[in-house]
């Protein structure tokens, strides 16, 4: 199984190793991240991405910051600034700051204690992914029917987006292992093509039948009756069950609601932000124009044109059939508020 992120204990210099997801599927290249600046760059340019993987990156990042602080004789102020910069590197994904803050609580106990906590985050994530995958598959088979199912998914939620196994992808993988998955429609996921480049790559590695479709086809695929359910991940889940995920997700939810088929969100419980009441309060990251106006390094828009490039959208809870975490399944569309916390 591919590991998107792991800590390498090296005699010369311990560090974080990432698979550079910007290079997939053409090349499998690993990044040896030896300092905080390199980690922040990797996070911001999406060499590492996906809410659970970012949680691990936040945790390992604190250990890396302590390691660098000792090597470079940083002051406490410099160390605090580095940890804050890691936590704030991408604002919408709650897991990044969660992982960094969880490990930072132990900074006074030193590097070894922080690294132990970061490794615990990674181990817990893999266990959570496998449990939520089991729960999600059980829920779908009970709701839709105990037969091979057809699915549509958006963005990438597999091992590349986590520490291992996957979230929404993990449910697909679980169904496949049970012989209950017929076909997956994979949204290309513009503008950075995480579906085409990453999800399709993982599905091919796992021998799961699939078709890649343009994002604009997804709603029609659902309304034409070509799929039995949609399943996506989440970068933040608010207390009332609103979810933020890669832009384009809400279109699937609306089509599923119209068709009357399940729209499922899968994520570890660390993605739940109990302090944020609704999706209206989520800060939506806006990324650079070049991601939209250029393709393969070539400019495709008229010079001087600007782009609107939100990285995420918010799906309201009342059109979400189920939110699956390792703690269980809740059904937001049929449940009184709030779902989490309170």
Which ranges of 6-110 does DSSP label H, i.e. alpha helix?
Answer: 36-44, 51-72, 76-87, 94-104
**In the 8-state DSSP scheme, what is residue 317?**
G
Decide if 203 contacts 301 (C-beta within 8 A): no
Any binding-site annotation on 327? no
Q: Tell me, rounded to whole angstroms, the distance of Cα 341 from its chain centroid.
A: 22
Any binding-site annotation on 42? no
Question: Which has the closest alpha carbon to 311: 336, 281, 287, 280?
Answer: 287
Any binding-site annotation on 178? no
Any binding-site annotation on 204? no
Distance from C-alpha of 95 to C-alpha of 60, rounded to nearest angstrom = 13
Any binding-site annotation on 102? no
Distance from C-alpha of 54 to C-alpha of 26, rounded to nearest angstrom = 23
Please count the other Cβ atoms lying within 10 Å of the Cβ belonging to residue 298. Answer: 6
Catalytic member of 235, 242, 273, 313: 235
Distance from C-alpha of 245 to C-alpha of 48, rounded to nearest angstrom = 16
Any binding-site annotation on 51? yes
Q: Is 280 a catalytic residue?
A: no
Any binding-site annotation on 50? yes
Residues in the annotated binding site: 49-51, 90, 194, 245-246
Residues in the annotated binding site for substrate: 49-51, 90, 194, 245-246
Active site residue ranges: 235
């Amino acid at each position: 199984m591919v590991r998107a992120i792991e800590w390498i204990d090296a005699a010369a210099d311990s560090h974080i190793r990432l698979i550079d997801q910007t290079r997939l599927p053409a090349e499998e290249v690993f990044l040896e991240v030896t300092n905080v600046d390199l980690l922040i760059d990797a996070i911001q340019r999406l060499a590492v991405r996906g809410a659970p993987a970012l949680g691990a990156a936040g945790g390992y990042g604190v250990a890396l910051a302590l390691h660098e602080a000792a090597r470079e004789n940083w002051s406490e102020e410099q160390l605090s600034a580095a940890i804050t910069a890691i936590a704030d590197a991408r604002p919408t994904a709650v897991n990044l700051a969660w992982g960094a803050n969880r490990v930072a609580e132990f900074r006074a106990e030193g590097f070894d204690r922080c690294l132990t906590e970061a490794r615990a985050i990674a181990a817990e994530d893999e266990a959570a992914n496998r449990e939520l995958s089991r729960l999600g598959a059980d829920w779908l088979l009970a709701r839709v029917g105990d037969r091979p199912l057809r699915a549509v998914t958006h963005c990438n939620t597999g091992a590349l987006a986590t520490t291992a196994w996957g979230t929404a992808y993990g449910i697909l993988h679980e169904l496949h292992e049970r012989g209950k998955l017929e076909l997956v429609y994979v949204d290309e996921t513009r503008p950075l093509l995480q579906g085409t480049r990453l999800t399709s790559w993982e599905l091919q590695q796992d021998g799961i039948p699939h078709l890649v479709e343009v994002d604009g086809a997804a709603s029609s695929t659902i309304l034409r009756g070509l799929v039995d359910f949609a399943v996506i991940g989440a970068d933040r889940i608010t207390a009332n069950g609103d979810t933020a995920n890669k832009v384009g997700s809400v279109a699937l939810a609306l089509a599923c609601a119209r068709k009357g088929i399940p729209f499922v969100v899968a994520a570890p419980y660390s993605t739940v932000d109990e302090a944020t009441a609704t999706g209206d309060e989520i800060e939506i990251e806006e990324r650079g124009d070049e991601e939209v106006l250029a393709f393969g390094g070539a400019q495709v828009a008229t010079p001087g044109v600007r782009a609107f490039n939100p990285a995420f959208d918010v799906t309201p809870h009342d059109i979400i059939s189920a939110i699956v975490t390792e703690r269980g399944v809740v059904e937001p569309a049929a449940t009184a508020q709030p779902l989490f916390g309170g």
